Amino acid sequence: MKMIPKAFRSGAVMLLLLLGTVVLLGSVLLTPTPAPTKEYSAFLAEVKAGSVTSVVQQVQTLTVTTTSTPPDTYTVEVPTQLTDVYGDLVAAAESGGRDPASITFGAKPSDGSGELVSLLISALLPVLLIGGLFVFMMRSAQGQNNQAMSFGKSKAKMFIANKTPVTFADVAGVEEAKVELAEVVEFLKFPERFEALGAKIPKGVLLIGSPGTGKTLLARAVAGEAGVPFFSISGSEFVEMFVGVGASRVRDLFEQAKRNSPCIVFIDEIDAVGRQRGAGLGGSHDEREQTLNQILVEMDGFETGTNVIIIAATNRPDVLDPALMRPGRFDRQVILDRPDLKGRLAILKVHVKGKPLDKTVNLEEIARRSPGFSGADLANLMNEAAILAARRSKRTVGMDEFAEALDRVMAGPQRKSRLITEAEKQIIAYHEGGHAVVGRILEKCDPVSKVTIISRGMALGYTMNLPTEDRYLQSKSEFEDKIAAMLGGNVAEQLVFGDTTTGASNDIEKATDLARKMVTRFGMSERLGRVTLGRQDEMIFLGREMSEQKNYSDAIAKQIDEEVRAIIDRGAARALEVLTAHRARLDALAAKLIAEETVEGAAFEGLFSDLPPKPAAYATLIARLRAAGIAVPESATEAQGPAAAPGAPAGQPA
């Protein structure tokens, strides 16, 4: 049977409502004004007085016409105990000396049609109009995807692969993850190849990575490569304030997926509903847990050959329920780490497509100056550079725009309106100069890329240190050199001015935190040994660190404080030693900063031209290994250790 178009149905409903309204208004406007009424005794008095010409009786109602000019008409309700109206009329006329024959008297039988029509118009028609209006409002609400009319319906957005062509060519910097997911594509394209060998298609793939590493983009690329429909939904869209809504939406989503198989269902931020059960305030009856239970049931209920793959993404795998992680549900876990130098270069090449670049742009240099950047960070960097070029009325994006965009992303926008006195300018110059000089002299510190006293964000100035290579391990000596460089600004203030300022508060905080991690987490204290001290308690339901459980005695706590203090004191002493020995370079750098405000890496190295170039990281260790007869690759970038923990930025403690 051919379906009636929705637009036609809506038009028919509107036409019926309009006709009903017209009929109702017409019945109200065309209904005659009812005649006035009088008492039965008053009617008999007028008969006696001779002012009545005709009387028509209909059941218990009399319609009386008078002798006035023009004739007047009124109605009289006959009392129920009276049955002989005509006899009363004759008696009244005779008592007044009137001839009863001069009064016309007739009876009209009641057919009830008028009352029925009146009842229909006055009662049923308004009900029909209200009902039709309600139906029209419901249809309109459903047409607008009103949530109040579709509580249990899935909010997943369906993308057709042909209309949204995202492939692996659009994803860069995650080559290992692409190789893992290429097998999923093969499963979807050629399932018979695997079924012939008894292999089962994986039910779920869990993408784990820091925000911005390309989890969503990679999932869409899998759907584009396989050429299958792609359902996308966020974990937070399952749960509402009404009990059972989340589970209903899960059922609806999986039913849609089965109808459109083969397909991919992508659940972003699955930790919103997949957190460990029993941790919520509502216990096992928590709405979030009911939603999770339904997801587990649906994933178990997939029949063989449905060819529906669930891809989920999260940056908090530690809070997920173990039932989600077992084989048979999320069979594979794919790690998306922050890209290395090669990966960042590949990502930049993807994002520069369609952007007019100046011939001076060196993408490799940009990739080298952006360690720890995720794919989203690099995309934002390219966009900021394009915005700056447009602001400057340029037709191409040059290297100057990229350098400024790097500074904006890493340190914030310039605050040129901030007024700084000459005295404060000198303090800031020596402060940043202290960081830079100590960082240049100490072997394990990263090379200085820029020193500036221009205010950006919350900082009055900053020193930018960029690593020459991607590193995933850091040593105790490297941490000690970094702490000394962090304290270099505070030590320089004390050395030059004999006083310190609040400008070093953030440096001291970072140095203290790093020193405490060295003692309590990394086992880098000879006094306390290779132990982990303190355990961080987490509220799984909230997903945040709330407190640290003290699993050591007060005596050990005192030793921890003493060790942290000793590390900080050694770092300050080393910084003072370096700055005292290189006071002339510190003064020259401060004068240059006061005059030019910014000193780039090449100009900064010019102040140390009489010293040998800064060795690459781990150069001493590599030389020692080669002297011992251990083969080490020629390129320092090839001598990388094992990968860091997921999400740990390069050059930062894992």
C-alpha 451/C-alpha 459 separation (Å) is 13
Q: Are 626 and 347 in contact (CB under 8 A)?
A: no
* DSSP letters for 205-257: EEEEE-TTSSHHHHHHHHHHHHT--EEEEEGGGT--SSTTHHHHHHHHHHHHH
Order of strands, sheet of 230-234, starting from the edge strand that comes earlier in the sequence: 157-159, 230-234, 263-268, 308-314, 204-209, 332-336
How many CA atoms are closer than 13 Å to the CA of 56, on its beta-carbon side?
10
Out of 46, 225, 287, 432, which one is annotated catalytic?
432
303 is catalytic: no
Tokens at 393, concatenated: 């009325």
Q: Are 479 and 518 in contact (CB under 8 A)?
A: yes
Give the 3-state secondary structure of residue 475: coil
C-alpha 291/C-alpha 555 separation (Å) is 48
Single-letter code of the amino acid located at 120: L
Order of strands, sheet of 37-38, starting from the edge strand that comes earlier in the sequence: 37-38, 73-77, 61-66, 52-58, 104-107
136 alpha carbon, distance to own chain's centre: 34
Sequence-separated (6 or more) residues with CB below 8 Å from residue 215 = 207, 209, 268, 313, 336
Tokens at 392, concatenated: 């400057």
Tokens at 599, concatenated: 């000193």
Exposure b/e, 204-240, CB count within 10 A at least 16 = b: bbbbbbbebbbbbebbbbbbbbbebbbbbbbbebbbb
Q: Which residue's entry shows tokens 């929705």?
A: 6
Q: Are 271 and 206 in contact (CB under 8 A)?
A: no
CA distances from 525 to 115, 479, 518, 566 (A): 102, 12, 7, 10
Q: Are 519 and 533 in contact (CB under 8 A)?
A: yes
67 alpha carbon, distance to own chain's centre: 86
Q: Which residues pair with 311 in a beta bridge?
A: 205, 266
Single-letter code of the amino acid located at 420: I
Q: Which residues are catalytic?
A: 432
